[in-house]
Amino acid sequence: MKRLYPLLGNRSVLWLLFWVNVLGTAYGYYWYKWQLIDTPPRFLLFVPDSPTASLFFVFVLGAFLMGRNWPLMEALAIVSLVKYGLWAVVMNLMVFFVSGQLDWIGLMLMASHFAMAVEGVLYAPFYRIKAWHLIVAAVVVLHNEIIDYVFGMMPRYHTLDLYMDQIGYFTFWLSIFSIAIGYYFGLRPERFSLSLKR
């Protein structure tokens, strides 16, 4: 770990991750394009879950590169990256168990989304989150839960249509878990904390 964190704080690594996340975010919004076409305008902000999570992290990395912290974005990033990163991995595993097959796109989605969750946690020692930042992040992800599973705006996995109630229940507890991760790694007083070299 002593060797890892100087590398994570290196400006070249930060720039690399910045552009990887910019491209991943752009592809994520493109992936949602057909669902967005059918989405009522009032729900448009709440549909593309994963790319919005990675967009939060783009803002975090951009602040790091400017020698600053953006604690609200840090809280939104860690909670949403863990939630939607792990959610996509589990959904694609469910597709495999239900259908018996998983194509290369599904495997790519699993790998990229798991990496989202990992990067959100790995950079947590550099965050400067306060309690109110985490509360805002918690409200955002739980509100999105309502939009997804009460108003039917969840990401479309037609193979899993019969399991929406169970998925909604699982997703609620995944949100609670993600908020707890945000607290454990980003807020608790005795957490591991580092400063980026300016």
Q: With 80 as the cut, is the pLDDT of residue 175 above it?
A: yes
Q: What percent of the chain clears pLDDT 70, i.e. is strictly above it?
A: 98
Summarize the confidence of residues 175-198 as an average pLDDT: 93
- Token pair of 158, please? 């037609």
Q: With 80 as the cut, is the pLDDT of residue 81 above it?
A: yes
Q: What are phi and psi of 127, to 5 degrees?
A: -75, 155
The pLDDT score that the predictor gives to residue 83 is 97
Cα 150 from chain centroid (whole Å): 21
pLDDT tens-digit map of 117-129: 999 999 999 999 9
Among 154, 176, 181, smallest CA distance to 74 is for 181
Is the Cα torsion angle 136, 79, 131, 193 positive or negative in sign? negative
Q: Check: CB of residue 155 under 8 Å from CB of residue 197.
A: no
Q: What are phi and psi of 19, to 5 degrees?
A: -75, -35
For residues 155 and 34, give the distance between their C-alpha atoms in angstroms, rounded to a whole number.
11
pTM of the model: 0.94
For residues 53 and 172, give the distance between their C-alpha atoms in angstroms, rounded to a whole number.
17
